[in-house]
C-alpha cells in the first residue's frame, strides 16, 4: 500500500485547471523529485499533498485513509512542509524553534535542538538571534530545523535550495540525503536537473498541470 496516494486529482481556480487528473503513488521511504516548467503546477501539487488546499475532484489518501477524514493538525505532525521562500514568524529564532513544543504542550528538548543545529551547521547561539539578522540561507536552515524538531514521516520540499548559495545548498542537500537514508519519505520540487537526479529514487515531470513523465532512477 502506498503511503501517499493521489487518485485522479484535479484542482481548478476560477475555471482555470491548475492540476489535471493526476494519479500518483508515493511509497514509504521513497525519494521523489518533481520537475517541470515554471507555472506548470508543481507547487500546487505539493500544497495538495500537504492538505494546505483541497482538490476540486479526486481523492488523496494517506496510509490508506481519505485525507478528508484525517484531522489536519494530526496530519501536519506527520507531514512536514518547507517552502521555497523561508517563512519565520514572530521576531526571534527561539520562538520558531520552540513552537512545535508549544503546540504540543511539551517542554523543549534542548538535546534534540542542539543536535539539529549541529546537523545544519548552525551554532546553537543562533537561538538568540532575531529573524531579521539572518541571511536567506540561515533562514531556510532554521525553517528546516523547525520542521524536523518532531521528525515527520514525510517531508515536502518546494525548491528549498533555489535561492541559496553553493555552501548552504550543499549543507541542505547533505541533510536531506541523510534523512532519506534513515527512512524518511521525501517529495522535493527542484529546477536543477543535476539535483533532481542525484539521490532520488524516482522523478516525475509536471507540464501544464498534468503528469507528463515518470522515471525510475534507482
pLDDT digit string, tens, across residues 10-41: 999 999 999 999 999 999 999 999 999 999 99
Give the Cα separation of 144 and 116 in Å (integer). 9
Q: At 50, which helix (H) or strand (E)?
A: helix 42-50
Q: Is residue 24 part of a domain?
A: yes
In this prediction, residue 186 has a pLDDT band, given cuts at 50, 70 and 90, of very high
Q: At 210, which helix (H) or strand (E)?
A: strand 210-216
| Dihedral over Cα of 180, 79, 202, 64: its sign | positive
pLDDT digit string, tens, across residues 110-143: 999 999 999 999 999 999 999 999 998 899 899 9
- Residue 152 predicted with pLDDT over 90: yes
Q: Is residue 61 part of a domain?
A: yes
In this prediction, residue 164 has a pLDDT band, given cuts at 50, 70 and 90, of confident
Instruction: Report how many domains make up the chain.
Output: 1
Q: Is residue 126 part of a domain?
A: no
Q: What does the pLDDT average to over 92-104?
A: 94
Q: Is residue 145 part of a domain?
A: no
- pLDDT in the model for residue 43: 96
Q: Is residue 198 part of a domain?
A: yes
Most confident of 64-73, 159-168, 186-195: 64-73
- Residue 192 predicted with pLDDT over 90: no
Q: What does the pLDDT average to over 39-66?
A: 97
Entry pTM: 0.92
Give the Cα separation of 41 and 61 in Å (integer). 20
Q: Is residue 98 part of a domain?
A: no
pLDDT digit string, tens, across residues 61-70: 999 999 999 9
- pLDDT in the model for residue 197: 85
Q: What CATH number is attached to the domain comprising 79? A: 3.40.50.300
Q: Is residue 157 part of a domain?
A: yes
- pLDDT in the model for residue 12: 97
Domain range spanning residue 34? 4-89+151-216
- Residue 95 predicted with pLDDT over 90: yes
Q: What angle do CA 39, 42, 43 make, to 5 degrees?
A: 90
Give the Cα separation of 11 and 36 in Å (integer). 17
- pLDDT in the model for residue 217: 92
Give the Cα separation of 17 and 21 in Å (integer). 10
Q: What does the pLDDT average to over 91-99?
A: 96
- pLDDT in the model for residue 191: 87
Best CA proximity match to 96, nearest among 159, 160, 141: 141
Mean pLDDT of the chain: 94
Q: Is residue 184 part of a domain?
A: yes
| E strands in 147-209 | 154-158, 185-189, 202-207
How many CB atoms within 10 Å of residue 19? 28
- Residue 147 predicted with pLDDT over 90: yes
Q: What does the pLDDT average to over 73-81?
A: 92
Amino acid at each position: 500500500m502506498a503511503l501517499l496516494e493521489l487518485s485522479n486529482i484535479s484542482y481548478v481556480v476560477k475555471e482555470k485547471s491548475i492540476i489535471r487528473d493526476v494519479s500518483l503513488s508515493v511509497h514509504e521511504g521513497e525519494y521523489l523529485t518533481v520537475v517541470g516548467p515554471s507555472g506548470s503546477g508543481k507547487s500546487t501539487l505539493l500544497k495538495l499533498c500537504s492538505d494546505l488546499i483541497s482538490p476540486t475532484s479526486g481523492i488523496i489518501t494517506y496510509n490508506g485513509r481519505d485525507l478528508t477524514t484525517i484531522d489536519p493538525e494530526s496530519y501536519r505532525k506527520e507531514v512536514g512542509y518547507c517552502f521555497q521562500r523561508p517563512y519565520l514568524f514572530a521576531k526571534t529564532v527561539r520562538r520558531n524553534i520552540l513552537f512545535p513544543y508549544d503546540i504540543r504542550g511539551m517542554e523543549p528538548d534542548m538535546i534534540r535542538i542542539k543536535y539539529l543545529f549541529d546537523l545544519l551547521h548552525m551554532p546553537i547561539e543562533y537561538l538568540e538571534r532575531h529573524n531579521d539578522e539572518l541571511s536567506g540561507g540561515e533562514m531556510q536552515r532554521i525553517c528546516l530545523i523547525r520542521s524536523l524538531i518532531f521528525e515527520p514521516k514525510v517531508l515536502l520540499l518546494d525548491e528549498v535550495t533555489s535561492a541559496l548559495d553553493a555552501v548552504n545548498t550543499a549543507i541542505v542537500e547533505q541533510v536531506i540525503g541523510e534523512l532519506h537514508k534513515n527512512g524518511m519519505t521525501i517529495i522535493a520540487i527542484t529546477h536543477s536537473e543535476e539535483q533532481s537526479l542525484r539521490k532520488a529514487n524516482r522523478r516525475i515531470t509536471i507540464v501544464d498541470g498534468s503528469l507528463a513523465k515518470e522515471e525510475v532512477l534507482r
